[in-house]
Structure 1
Amino acid sequence: MNQQIHLCHHEVTLLPESARVIIRPFIPSNVHLVATIIGRALALTEDDVALQLAELRIGFEARHHDLVSALHAHFEKVRHHIPSEQPLSLDRQLLIGAIFSGEYALESAALFNPSMVPHPDQSGVPDGALRFIMSLRATGEGHISSIEFRSGIIAQDGVITLDPVSRFVTLPLVVPNPKYRKPNFLSKLHEMGFENAHTQAVLSPLAENFTRSDLNQSLTNVREGAESALQDLNPTLDCIQWLADSNYELQFSEKLAMSERIIFPVSNNESNGIEDARFVLFTEDDGSKMYYATYTAYNGRAILPQLIETEDFLHFRVLTLNGSAVQNKGMALFPRRIGGRYVMLSRQDDENLFIMFSDNPHYWSEPQLLMRPEEMWESVKIGNCGSPIETEAGWLVITHGVGPMRQYCIGAALLDLEDPTRVIGRLRQPLLCPEGSGREGYVPNVVYSCGALLHGGSLILPYAMSDKVTAIVSLSLDELIAALLASE
């Protein structure tokens, strides 16, 4: 431990809560089984249907904001299996929807890997205080990860208070006709090896900013107008369709509390999890602001770094990232441009920490080595614990290191403000290591964070313990900077 740095452990612990559940569709892949199950529901009398549905509503309605809408949405997913000539009552539709539904406890296994950013709404906050949003990785059955949120206040004296956590959780509306940016779309297709005549035929009629319906119509036109002998047509069109599915928009109701908003996997890229979102409040040169989050999409076989954009934590754009350096985990965006360019930390090789520059926040290439493991506590690999934080002394980077027995510790480094490729300070001993009961959890001997923030003269550092629960410490920024500069 760095003796000159004093840590204040706050009486805030975020524990996983199994009672917070969403409703997910559970539809067998075997179409004959789906038809058989529906047949049983169709054989019931209307009185039996009403009785069964009433019992379901008694058992489940109090656990969800809008049970009926969820059941009806899941009925719509299997409607095409029902003979078209057979009219169904609303009750029977809802019962069929319930048959193909199930609850999923988002955080039953863990609530961890937090990041903190200032809340976009600071109205009514006392002088000297700060309202914040904390993102968290929630993991449930099957190790499927999603993003949850909490909100709270850091008082002028540093006391941290979390807002009450709702019993309910709600999935957002997946915007049915999202917008796309043609340059980004073309860049990704080129990177994937699908920039050909079919791609040009689909995209050339479209505007610079086009909608999903525009794209669907163009795909239809190209497919219908092509010769059946073109063997590379279907793979190209399938790739374009995959890319469109991977870039989507989400919308939450403004009536929902922050803790009720859940970002659950939507695309096939992330079917097994949205992992370790690193949120940052980014300020453009003109003063405009945007919240970005880099995260790892996982489909059970491969990982893919992706990007989230939001201005208000109500409307989210989820985007694929482009470029040869978009690989591995742990991409973290600097909170402003440096020398007119966007800057990102990354870990290309699962060992060292890299830095890269770009004119476009969606395109990354040519990473430069920034730091290698040096101390025994980081002898296996190093990475970042969120976006760098600007201070007068330099860019503060909270790091993590993996050492013997796969123990994760949290450290820190300092980069030059004008030239962040220069490391001007680096702790030789970690700030935090797993200890006591914090060593025990889903993955033992781990402390980890996805983003801290400054308040007054303190660094507020939320961190997860052993991939299970989340806690918060704060420490003096002056003490930390002094220790970093002394280390060199």
Structure 2
Amino acid sequence: MPNGSPIHVTRKDQKFSADDKRVIARYFQVGGEQRAKNVLNRVAGLSDAEVHELLDQVIGDFGPRHRKIENTFDRHFGYIKHYVDDPDALSLERKLLIGSYFTMEYAIESAALFNPSIVPHPDQSDLKPGELRFIMSLRATGEGHVSSIVFRTGVVDGNGEITFAPMSKYAAKMRVNQDRQYEKKLFFLKLIEMAAYTDAARAVLDEMPDWFTYQELDHKIAEIKARPEHPRPFNETAENMLWLARSNYRLKVPDEADPSEIVIFPTSENESRGIEDVRLTHFTDEDGTVTYFGTYTAYNGFRILPQLFETADFHNIEIHTLNGRYVQNKGMALFPRKINGFYHMISRLDGENMFIMQSDNVHFWNECQKLAAPLYPWEFVQIGNCGPPIETEHGWLLLTHGVGPVRQYCIGACLLDLDDPSKVIGHLDQPLIIPNQDERDGYVPNVVYTCGALAHAGHLVIPYAMSDSATTFATVKMDELMHELTNNSKSCPIPDRRVNAR
């Protein structure tokens, strides 16, 4: 099925494929308590000389593959030291050796590297005229089809040519920073939405400050539970409150880490089976402050949950649950600024149509209306967004995906009104990018897909996935694209605005 659009699409030579050499060091759960103790007892039987020799060998084998592998071993020893009668009596070398037995390597992108999103980099220093530095997220999938998020950086010049920065040889799972604070008001609203605000929850929150940490919450729950007059039942409420706190956390990226080392790996129960399809937004607030938001889908093997990460610099990253009546399904994409004082987000509720939401709080979404339904044969099965809208003088440019015959995914585009983005004012009647012969074979055949593009110097830079396996790039001239969209404005019917949400 050739490109029916007259727009010229330039496919680039750059390609990111799965690399099984990209590994992180994870905690290895060897089994239950008894199996862990068996390992500890075996290491305890080694002499100091044997411990020294074996640890040297392990560090020699695995140290070059990781930044500061000794710190990882020490941290993993800390996870099981409660099984040791007197852990402080052990030598550092023995602790590190024990930690190595509770460590495993995980190849984060051994299966696939796909579904990219791209935004301007926070650091635009030391560039030539006409250049823009960018940061790109990708979905990396490894053993067991568990997905994480990784990053690459590069530069696009005034001609739309792309160069990538060298990639670090290290990859590191970002660790949760335990000093994350929670706002009591938002915590209260989320508990209500979860139908988990009970007398027991009220008893806990009434004694919490306006901002509190996980440790303070855990301590207060234990304190109230120990009181003879505590509300009953209590255990389920306590579990819900701690689950909510664990689902909202902060990640700290080491200052010396290159962005290509960052791996956002599943941390909370919500994400236990993967973090999928980040859509990055370079968001500028009304006071000029820039925040990078990333909407993504958390999956625990049974259900999906839309979530949000937030950062100013890609060194301190906060993870939030998204809340509200219309926070459902996948594929949410945040607009890069407020419109008429409200946040706006493209979403899908039913897996078939596109919707638009608005809110005065980026964490809560309770207003929604239908934006677009499948209109052309190449999108008859479903239509959805392919990343956050891009502001142009003609309107909000929104890349879309359409699913047609033989479940083929194509990339299209539509144009939304600048002042009222619930109005579609232009829509390509033909796909912009269709899987060609080199792109249609992979883990999921016949799919081209992106989670976000970048406009620069008259070019639209589109990183896109090929059949859920690898990632490549294309560029389009913005004036050609805008010409087609504005000339196709009469073919956009007003959708049925009724929303039937669960």
Do both proteins adopt the same fold according to a TM-score greater than 0.5, normalized to the shorter chain?
yes
Letter matched to residue 67 of structure 2: H
What corresponds to 1:55 in structure 2? 57
Shift of 1:486: 2.0
What corresponds to 1:69 in structure 2? 71
1:114-263 matched pairs, under 5 angstroms: 114-227=116-229, 230-263=231-264
SS at match of 2:263: coil
CA deviation digits over 1:16-68, x for unaligned, max 9? 21111111111134211111222211122222222221221121111111110
What corresponds to 1:327 in structure 2? 328
What corresponds to 1:270 in structure 2? 271
What corresponds to 2:103 in structure 1? 101
CA contact (8 A) 2:77 2:98 kept: yes
Among 22, 30, 35, which residue is 2:24 paired with? 22
SS at match of 2:75: helix
What corresponds to 1:337 in structure 2? 338
Shift of 1:251: 0.9
The alignment's C-alpha RMSD in Å is 1.4
Letter matched to residue 111 of structure 1: L
What corresponds to 2:476 in structure 1? 475
Letter matched to residue 252 of structure 2: Q
CA contact (8 A) 2:348 2:355 kept: yes
Shift of 1:232: 2.3
Shift of 1:86: 8.2
What TM-score, normalized to structure 2?
Answer: 0.94
CA contact (8 A) 1:106 1:146 kept: yes
Query: Is 1:300 aligned to 2:281, yes or no?
Result: no
- Aligned in 2, Cα 1:226/1:403: closer, same or farther, shift over 3 Å? farther
Distance of 1:86 and 1:476 partners within structure 2? 64
Shift of 1:157: 2.2
What corresponds to 1:360 in structure 2? 361
Query: Is 1:386 aligned to 2:417, yes or no?
Result: no
Shift of 1:226: 4.8
CA contact (8 A) 1:19 1:167 kept: no
What corresponds to 2:496 in structure 1? none
CA contact (8 A) 2:146 2:273 kept: yes
Distance of 2:219 and 2:82 partners within structure 1? 23
What corresponds to 1:11 in structure 2? 13
What corresponds to 1:458 in structure 2? 459
CA contact (8 A) 1:345 1:354 kept: yes
Shift of 1:204: 2.1
Shift of 1:85: 7.5
What corresponds to 1:279 in structure 2? 280
Distance of 1:205 and 1:82 partners within structure 2? 36
1:399-418 matched pairs, under 5 angstroms: 399-418=400-419
Letter matched to residue 423 of structure 2: R
Letter matched to residue 351 of structure 2: D
- Aligned in 2, Cα 1:390/1:81: closer, same or farther, shift over 3 Å? same
What corresponds to 2:437 in structure 1? 436
SS at match of 1:244: helix
Among 112, 126, 135, which residue is 1:110 paired with? 112
CA deviation digits over 1:383-411, x for unaligned, max 9? 10100111111111100111222211111
What corresponds to 1:313 in structure 2? 314
Seq. identity, %? 48
Letter matched to residue 354 of structure 2: L
Letter matched to residue 263 of structure 2: I
CA deviation digits over 1:222-266, x for unaligned, max 9? 2222547x5421111110000010010011122111111111111
Distance of 2:102 and 2:86 partners within structure 1? 19
CA deviation digits over 1:362-397, x for unaligned, max 9? 001232111111222212111101001111111111
SS at match of 2:264: coil
SS at match of 1:27: coil
Q: How many residues align?
A: 487
Shift of 1:453: 1.1
Distance of 2:430 and 2:125 partners within structure 1? 40
Distance of 2:381 and 2:232 partners within structure 1? 47
CA contact (8 A) 1:460 1:473 kept: yes
Shift of 1:93: 1.3
Shift of 1:129: 0.9
- Aligned in 2, Cα 1:370/1:425: closer, same or farther, shift over 3 Å? same
SS at match of 2:192: helix
List gaps (5 residues or longer) in structure 2.
491-502
Distance of 1:467 and 1:354 partners within structure 2? 25
Distance of 1:106 and 1:269 partners within structure 2? 19
CA contact (8 A) 1:184 1:322 kept: no
Distance of 2:95 and 2:183 partners within structure 1? 39
SS at match of 2:57: helix
SS at match of 1:35: helix
- Aligned in 2, Cα 1:85/1:266: closer, same or farther, shift over 3 Å? closer
List gaps (5 residues or longer) in structure 1.
none
Shift of 1:358: 0.5
CA contact (8 A) 2:344 2:359 kept: yes
SS at match of 1:438: coil
CA deviation digits over 1:336-370, x for unaligned, max 9? 11111110110111111000110100001232111
What corresponds to 1:87 in structure 2? 89
Shift of 1:218: 2.1
SS at match of 2:400: strand
Distance of 1:5 and 1:46 partners within structure 2? 71
Distance of 2:448 and 2:222 partners within structure 1? 50
Distance of 1:329 and 1:304 partners within structure 2? 8
